[in-house]
Copies of this chain bind each other. A is one copy, B any other.
Amino acid sequence: MTARTLQGFMELLPQEQIVFNRIKSVIAHTYELFGYAPLDTPVLELAEVLLSKSGGETEKQIYEFKKGDTDLAMRFDLTVPLAKYTALYANDLTFPFKRYQIGKVYRGERPQKGRFREFYQCDIDVIDRDELDIVYDAELPAVIYTIFKELNLPSFKIYINNRKLLSGYLEALNIADKTVDVLRLVDKIKKIPEEVFLGELKDLGMPQDKNSQLLNFIKIKGLNKEIIAKLEDLKIENQNFVDGLSELKTVIEKAQAFGVPEQNIQIDLSITRGLDYYTGTVYETFFDDYPQFGSVCSGGRYDNLSSVFSNQKLPGVGISIGLTRLFDQLKDNNLLQFPALTPNKALIITQGAEFDALAAQVAAQLRQNNIAADVMHRSCKFKKKMEYANKIGVPYLIIIGEEEAQSQQYTIKNMTTGEQTRLLPADLIKLLS
């Protein structure tokens, strides 16, 4: 039997996994710092629950199967499970309900470079009953900004828009019946030439005079306050437009008050999140120098999360980092460093089995001080043990032999600089802390 892993399923070597997990834990930790509670829902759900709200695209990609008489499916996102969860436990939850979930989701896409069939999504959402304060729409960019900074990722921008602006604008142009198709088309504008865009608008049956107006609208550029001024200057009185503008203005102001610098947040009227169910604020995030990565973090505001499952109105806003793809892209572009094959800060090797007990003692002392440490056990030559230490890339090596045992001062070698010295256990701990 040949050992094989399915195509489209990421599997990492230990040194890569250590870096992946570090990123994952920075995300989780930051989510918690902002008060989001962890959630963990099943990977498997009833197929009818997962497919209750989905369109045709999702259905084709879903892993669905029967076990006994039950139709089961593997989750393809974390939002539908959240909708189910919130409806199911509404009476036990306290609103505003802030939750994060980091988990694997499954989509049976055609495997291709950069597309995964199993991938991590790292979601945060805030849900309230009846009404959700617009401030939360500004909090999400602040959370994402904090994470990206902490991870030292390349320079990035969170692009932000409000769907009400474009739909209000279309209403004002008296072409509201085309809103769904136009939103979907606008979503593609960065990927197609202008003529194609205009051609497709025409194909939708849009009145020709309004097409260039629309194009000029979504192309409004400038600093955030300039864009807002230009939108205000349009003096459109449509209520949707007015609401969207007021929300967008608040979100930009508050996000900046929450510490997101101007260079990291940018209004972009062409962001619509085409197929999704968002109703207000929408987000996408791009690296300035790596636009080819696509959006690495997207989301938005929805009026009613659990409408399929519940009669309560539960508005929410959420954002999600697609971690597996992001990691893969960062790796491919040499934007990650893989320092070691081991989580250990120090590896202890001995010059003979008679020093094993001492090595175990030293290791235990280090661990009690929260320093990951390991003793290598194998009956082999000392040289082989040195080779192992070099190979796993451990930062510090501790050597215990006759002299060390007698003096209780242990040889410690900085594997990067090659420097070597002898230290008492207490000083070892100080150095390694």
A contact residues vs B (CB 8 Å cutoff): 1-6, 9-14, 17-18, 20-21, 32-46, 48-49, 52, 63, 65-68, 70, 72, 74, 83-85, 87-89, 92-94, 96-99, 104, 106, 108, 117-118, 128, 131, 133, 135-136, 146, 254, 257-259, 306, 308-310, 341-344, 347, 356-357, 360, 364, 367, 370-374, 376-379, 388, 391-392
Contacts and interface: CB of A to CB of B under 8 A. Distances in A.
Contact of A372 (B32, B65, B96): B32
A68 B364 CA distance: 52
Contacts of A52: 1
Nearest to A373: B35
A2 B92 CA distance: 17
A254 to B, nearest CB: 8
So how many copies of this chain end up in the complex? 2
A43 B112 CA distance: 20
Chain A to chain B: the 3 pairs with minimum beta-carbon distance, closest first = A35-B374, A65-B65, A133-B377
Given A38-B18, A39-B17, A94-B388, A258 B4 contact: no
B370 A33 contact: yes
Contact of A94 (B34, B341, B357): B341
A26 to B, nearest CB: 12
Contacts of A356: 135, 254
Given A33-B373, A370-B33, A118 B5 contact: no
B342 A2 contact: no
13 contacts: A3-B309, A3-B310, A4-B84, A6-B46, A6-B72, A13-B92, A17-B39, A32-B372, A33-B371, A34-B374, A35-B343, A43-B106, A44-B106
A213 to B, nearest CB: 37
Nearest to A35: B374
A117 B67 CA distance: 12
